[in-house]
Amino acid sequence: MTMSLNSKTITLQQLAKTIDHSLLKPEMTEAEVIAGCEIARRYHVASVCVKPCHVRLAVRLLEGSDVAVGSVVGFPHGSQTSEVKVSEARQALADGATELDMVMNIGELRSGHMEYVRDEIRAVVETAAGQAIVKVILENAYLTDEQKVIACKLCEEAGADFVKTSTGYAPTGATVQDIQLMRKSVGPQVQVKAAHGVRTLEAVLAMIDAGATRIGATATAVILDDFKKQRDSTVV
């Protein structure tokens, strides 16, 4: 069920647990992944989201912590075949991932091939069943509002745990309006993740108030340090 969070009452611990610390840049080195996992552990975020080749490393680094390890499927364009996406999911699960951020086939949705899109998502969801949650990236930059709503419905029908705004590789990312639209377009059992361009505490809190319960972020330390400073300054 959807968590009930708002910017006025959220605690530092709750805020940290909305953040998926993103370590997905193509040029990212192993040393940078290690440093990113250390930030995730220190701040007790919800998860790290790493490239498939780094899942085993992240699992090893975060063993014994309260931080989940996630990876990506069909990233970043969503154009792999369904069989390849299922294979990617299986490999990530075998390597220890417990969260999968899967890119929907954007072109197939825009072509009106709804059954294909739903069946592909369902195939990944069924592969992950009992092992990982699945977040489906819609890549809203390329969709009309009507298509965003349709995509949300297909994700829900396919059993996805989350709908997510963006990969970070399209022209635009998360907006408050899109989070509100996505939240209205799915039932309470499906959560909403905001990603791409959510770099400040103000932006994170706005997304949470719009209905997001996960945030994809790279500026994790800055965001959480700012929150702590802000809340500490209000304590008499």
Is there a catalytic annotation at residue 85?
no
- Catalytic: which of 20, 101, 161, 178? 101
* List of residues 6+ apart from 65 with CB closer than 8 A: 40, 41, 44
184 is catalytic: no
Q: Which residues pair with 214 in a beta bridge?
A: 193
CA distance 227 to 231: 6
Active site residue 101: yes
Pick the catalytic residue from 85, 135, 148, 164. 164
Catalytic residue among 85, 135, 148, 193: 193
Measured at the CA of 171, the angle between CA 166 and CA 177, to 5 degrees, comes to 55
How far apart CA 107 and CA 121 sit, in angstroms, is 14
The CA-based dihedral angle spanning residues 9, 196, 187, 104, taken in that order and rounded to the nearest 10 degrees: -160
d(CA 62, CA 184): 35
Question: 122, 137 in Cβ contact below 8 A?
Answer: no
Catalytically active residues, by annotation: 101, 164, 193
